[in-house]
Structure formats: structure tokens, C-alpha cells
Amino acid sequence: MASTNTVRKPSVKNLTIKVCVGTGGLAAGGQEVMNAFSRKLRALGIKADIAKKCVKKTGCRGCCSKDVLVDVRMNGNSATYQHISRNKVERIIQEHIIDGNIVKEWLVGPEYHAFHDRKIKILLKQCGEIDPEDIGDYTSSGGYKGLKKALSGNPSSVVNVIKKSGLRGRGGAGFPTGLKWEICSNEESGQKYIICNADEGDPGAFMDRSVIEGNPHSVIEGMIIGGYAIGAGRGYIYIRAEYPVAISRLRIALKQARKKGFLGKNIYKSGFDFDIRIKEGAGAFVCGEETALMASIEGQRGMPRSKPPFPAQKGLWGKPTIINNVETLSTIPHIISNGAKWFSSIGTKNNSGTKIFSITGKINNTGLIEVPMGISLREVVYDIGGGCPQNRELKAVQTGGPSGGCIPASLIDMPLDYDSLSSVGSMMGSGGMVVMDDTTCMVDMAKFFLEFTQNESCGKCLPCRVGNKRLYERLKKITEGRGKKGDIEFLLSLADDIKITSLCGLGQTAPNPVLSTIKYFRNEYEAHIFEGRCPAGVCEALRQYIVKAEVCKMCGKCFKECPAEAIAWEKKQPAVIDKGKCIKCGRCFEVCPFSAIK
């Protein structure tokens, strides 16, 4: 390969290199890749400012398992590379940019295109295209046109468009956004507020973070439109402090929006004044609940209060307040720009538009997807997610975060919408999706989520504070082999009581993993309690190791490696494990070269 000091200088007039620097991209070395491209292009004699223009950052592309993702666009053609590190940059510059030969072995494969081709991108379309720290990129792609259109009419017309669109809140149970705005707009008050709930605390969820990191101006524009619609002069973005990249880009975007006149006094010479502040949360899961979130902004301990009155009537500092999450607010500019009919034509009758899901767990293609409402669970898991690794059997999919339910594989063809998920004991929530294969113990999974929610309880109400702790304790006993007759009935009864009597959404939904796993996987609970075994082999206290005599080659390796001398073996005889002596360390299972131990 020729040295970059001796190669001919390439033309950069039509060259654009886009590097993913969302949190996933940064963790994989995205910033180092960007620096390497800029540095090596300058070494070719290209001026620094030109190199900076042609090497651009983008937010999350969605297919996080392929980071660092890099697009090279020149001469009207585009190539997307995967798993790029800084030591691969020089070859891409030499072979692709200078010689015009794509480095084929580093290109994304069919699974990358399958991950994207079945999606309808509205919110995520710009996240992988524009520079999140350049307001010019946003405005050149249509940004703030929705705001201008909204301000050219009256607030009630904006509310009516959102009502007609059928947009439902993307952060919870799916309450109609337009109706919520209408209630607040009808309240008489000299001061109103609009809040963006970016306190995304679900394990495995990163939808809101990725939208903010990749396109912060969409959130800001949606908040300004919402503020105009309800008559609010102030907005707050409540975001957890654990999102430093998102917070940094928000601050840059707010500064740029003020400089351009999109925030502040007399926006678009309409007479409307509006500004936004950032409030960093301390990471309490309960502050995702709207009344606890408002208490935190007010400087109080993040604890929920009884409703009614609802925030739209009496919210922040006692004033009418609208709270929507990142995804909901980012959708608003698109609806205003394209019309209610356009948005309602996507999805299904009562579930308009698209929904962003983060798919994680036992699935080949992890990442972020945006799909039309009503798409089947099968399409998400297999057509987009690529199924379970090693062709293992799908067992369940949990939707809605730690408070959602576990949907069995038998319901794989169900549509993903608010009503369908609720009917099977789950929920949409913010869009977290965890895929489980046949190596997952459903009792252990329910225990995992209960451990999280009972730790995150604020402790204000007894049902949540004590009830969820008792659920967790009973699940722990079952997974440790100490379950007894009546435990399942106890779990069902207590879970129902918690759902009915808890003060806020955290307590009311926390038992969902227990109820759904008992409903669809009761046989696993019974196996733990009555047979003393974990069918998935996950619960260590119930794990048993057995030698399959018909497979055993009588090599004696397990006998030699067993630290507890629990294996009996003689030459030309299959090994036998003494369950009384076995300490369940798994060493025999690990060393057997013939997979004779299960």
C-alpha cells in the first residue's frame, strides 16, 4: 500500500464521510475513527476546514451491533462499512476514496439491510443522516418548518391537528396526545409549562437517548409547538444525568436555537415567547412517573402524588402542565408539516404512526428500530432482528420495560399496538423489548425484574414498598429450591392487590412480569416447586448434572476434573454423578469433549 504522503490528492468536492457517534458508536471508537479520517485527509494536503466539512458525525443508525458504522459517499454512490476502527481508515481512504475500489469485505451484510428495509423511518431517518451539533443540517432537512407553520395559525388549530392525527403518548399507556393538550389549553392560568420526560430508566431501553443524541432539535421544535398550543411560556427537559452525550448535544442545540431566534422572544415575529431549561435527574426510576418528575424539578424528593387533579390541570408549581416523552414530542413537527391525514394513514385505526423499539437480549441483530404500529411480533423478531443466536428456539419477548409482561412464542403473530399488548398482559411502555430463548428461566426472569422495581420503589405507599418486596422474596425462595405448595396462589393474590392499591404507575405495573409468566409459563413454576428442578438449567440451586450413558465415550475426563470427587468412573464404563456429593460447579459439563453431560 502506498504511503499517504506520496499518493495523489483526491477530490473532496463531492465526498462525504459520515461516522456514527451515538453512545454505541462512541463506545466502539467512533470519535477515534472521525479523528483518523480528518487527520489522514489533511495529511494528503487537504485543508483542515475542508476535511472537517466532509467528515461528519451522525447519531445512532439503529443497528448497534455493527458499530462503528461509516458511510462513504462520493460521485453519487454510497457504501456503508461496519466494525470500523481507526486502523482501518487508511485503507478506506487509499482504496475507496483515492483508487475508487470499495473495500468489499468490510461492507455491511444483508442482515444490515434487512434490519432497515422493513422499517418506516420518521424520527430515526435524520438521526443517522444529520450532524446533531449543526442546526444548519437540521434546517436544511426541513427542521423548524413545522414550527413556522404552527405559529402561522392559532393554538386551537394546532391542538386539532394533533387530535385528528391519532397520536398517542409514546411513553406509557398511550393516552391521546391531542386530548391531553386540549384539556391543558382550556385551563385558565397566567403560567403553564410543558415538560419533556427524558428520564428513560428501563433496563435495555435507549430510544429517547438515541433520538436526543442524533436529532436534539426535533425534541426542541416539538416542545415549542406544544408550548404554543397550550399557552405555555416555559419548558423543561428532564433528563437523567447518566446521559452525558445527550445532555451535551441538547445544550449545544438550545444555544443554537436561541441564536437563530427559534427560542426566546417573539419567535417568527408571532408574539409568542418561549424558552427551555434542562433539569438533570439523579437516576431514580420512579421519576419517570409524571408527578414524581415534577416534584424533582421543584426541588423536592421524587415521590408521586395522588391523581386527580392531573398535571394538565394542576402540575408543576400548581400550574397546568403537559408532560410528554421524547418520542412523542419529536413526532409533533412531522405531523404539523405533513398533516394529520398523512400520520393517521400509517399504522392501524386506533394506533397511528410509527413506534421506536429497542430490541435486546437473545437476538442476533440488537439495536433500535422504527416500525409502523400494528407490525407483527414475528416480523420484528425474525425479519428485522434475525431470530435467536445459534438458531435457538424463541421462548418469550418482554415488552414495556421491567413493568411489562412476557409474551410467549405461541403469540408471535400478534400485532404490536397498545390495545393488543394490553390484552395479553403486557404493555407498550416506552418501547423496550427483551427477547428470550429456550435457555431463559421465566421464574428467574420475573425475579430479575421484581428485584429492579422493588429497589426503585420510592417507598411512599405500602402496597409498592412492602408488597413488591414480598413478591421478590417469594420468587427468590422458589429459584433457590425452597418453594412450597401455595406459592403460586400467593403470588397471584398479592400481585393483584398491588396492582389495585398502589399509588402510581410503578407499583401498579410492577407485578406484570409475575402475572404474565405464571399465566403463560406456570409449568416452570410448578417444576421449580414440586419437582425441584429448573427446566432451563438456570437456577443454580436446582441444577442437576446427569451423564447421558449412551453418549458417554468413557474417557474419564470428567472424573479427573471433578473437584468434589462426585463422579464414579472405571475404564470402559460410563461415568456416574453422585448427586449427594455434587457441588454443581459445572466443571464436568465444561470439560466433556463429547457433550455427554447435560
- Residue-wise pLDDT tens digits, 47-57: 555 566 788 99
Give the pLDDT band (50/70/90) at residue 572: confident
125-345 CATH: 3.40.50.11540
Domain boundaries, the chain: 16-108, 125-345, 348-437, 442-530, 544-598
Cα(156)–Cα(228) distance, rounded to whole angstroms?
9
Cα separations in angstroms, 49 against 20, 42, 52, 58, 311: 20, 9, 5, 18, 49
pLDDT at 8: 52
- State the pLDDT at residue 61: 85
Confidence of residue 326 (pLDDT cuts 50, 70, 90): very high
Q: Cell triple for residue 454?
A: 422493588
Structure confidence at residue 450 as a pLDDT band (50, 70, 90): very high
**pLDDT above 60 (res 2):** no
List, for residues 115-124, the tens digit of each pLDDT value: 777 667 888 8
| Cα(229)–Cα(59) distance, integer angstroms | 29
Tens-place pLDDT, residues 339-378: 999 999 999 989 999 999 999 999 998 888 999 999 999 9
Q: Which of 149, 131, 113 shows the shortest CA–CA distance to 58?
A: 131
The predicted structure's pLDDT at residue 585 = 84
Which fold does the domain 16-108 belong to in CATH? Glutaredoxin (3.40.30)
Local confidence band at 4 (pLDDT 50, 70, 90 cut-offs):
very low
Q: What percent of the chain has pLDDT over 70?
A: 96
Q: Which fold is adopted by the domain 348-437? A: Ubiquitin-like (UB roll) (3.10.20)
Q: Return the pLDDT at 33.
A: 95
Measured distance CA(486)–CA(170) in Å, rounded: 39
Give 44-90 pLDDT, tens digit per residue. 876 555 566 788 999 988 888 888 999 998 877 889 999 999 999 99
Distance CA 322, CA 310 (A): 10
Does residue 336 have a pLDDT over 60?
yes
pLDDT of residue 9: 53
CA angle, corner 417, sides to 382 and 368, nearest 5?
50
Q: How far apart are CA 168 and CA 155, in angstroms?
A: 19
Confidence (pLDDT) at 98: 86
Confidence of residue 205 (pLDDT cuts 50, 70, 90): confident
How many CA atoms within 13 Å lie on the side-chain side of 356?
Answer: 29
Rounded distance between C-alpha atoms, residue 560 and residue 420, angstroms = 55
Handedness of CA 318, 319, 320, 323 (dihedral sign): negative
How many Å apart are CA 470 and CA 474, to the nearest integer? 6
pLDDT at 421: 92
Instruction: Please tell me the distance from the alpha carbon of residue 546 to that of residue 447, in angstroms, as a whole number.
Output: 27
pLDDT digits (tens, 9 = 90+) for 454-486: 998 898 999 999 999 999 999 999 999 999 999
Return the minimum-mean-pLDDT range out of 71-80, 227-236, 328-337: 71-80
E strand or H helix at 576, and its extent?
strand 576-577
Q: Which of 552, 554, 545 is nearest to 584 (CA)?
A: 545
pLDDT (average), residues 148-163: 96
Instruction: Render pLDDT for 284-296 as a digit per residue (tens, 0 to 9).
Output: 889 889 999 999 9
**In this model, does residue 147 exceed pLDDT 70?**
yes
Query: In this predicted model, what pLDDT tens digit does every residue of 369-412 receive, in sequence order?
Result: 999 999 999 999 999 999 999 999 999 999 988 888 999 999 99
pLDDT number for residue 3: 45
Could you tell me the pLDDT band of residue 491, with boundaries at 50, 70 and 90?
very high
Q: What is the pTM of this model?
A: 0.89
Q: What is the pLDDT of residue 120?
A: 78
The reported pLDDT for the residue numbered 417 is: 93
* Peptide bond between residue 372 and the one before it cis (omega within 30 degrees of 0): no
Q: What is the CATH number of domain 442-530?
A: 1.20.1440.230
Q: Which listed CATH number (3.40.630.30, 3.90.1150.10, 3.30.70.20, 3.40.50.1360) goes with 544-598?
A: 3.30.70.20
Question: What's residue 47's pLDDT?
Answer: 59
Pairing, β 234-240 against β 193-198? parallel
194 closest CA partner among 336, 323, 331, 326? 323
pLDDT digits (tens, 9 = 90+) for 504-536: 988 999 999 999 999 999 999 999 999 988 999
Instruction: For 425-471, give the secondary structure using H, E and C.
Output: CCCCCCCEEEEEECCCCHHHHHHHHHHHHHHHCCCCCHHHHHHHHHH
Degrees, nearest 5: CA angle 62-388-124: 15
Residue 7's pLDDT band (boundaries 50, 70, 90)?
very low
Least confident interval from 9-13, 157-161, 272-276 = 9-13
Q: Is pLDDT of 6 > 50?
A: no
Name residues whose C-beta falls within 8 Å of residue 231's C-beta, 6 or more positions apart in sequence: 155, 185, 189, 192
Q: Over range 233-261, report the average pLDDT.
A: 95
Mean pLDDT over residues 265-272, rounded? Answer: 94
Give CA–CA dist 77/15, Å, rounded.
Answer: 10
CB 432 within 8 A of CB 399: yes
pLDDT score of 420: 93
Helix (H, G, I), strand (E, B) or coil at 529: helix
Q: Can you tell me which residue has the cell 474419564?
A: 556
Per-residue confidence (pLDDT) for residue 89, from 0 to 100? 94
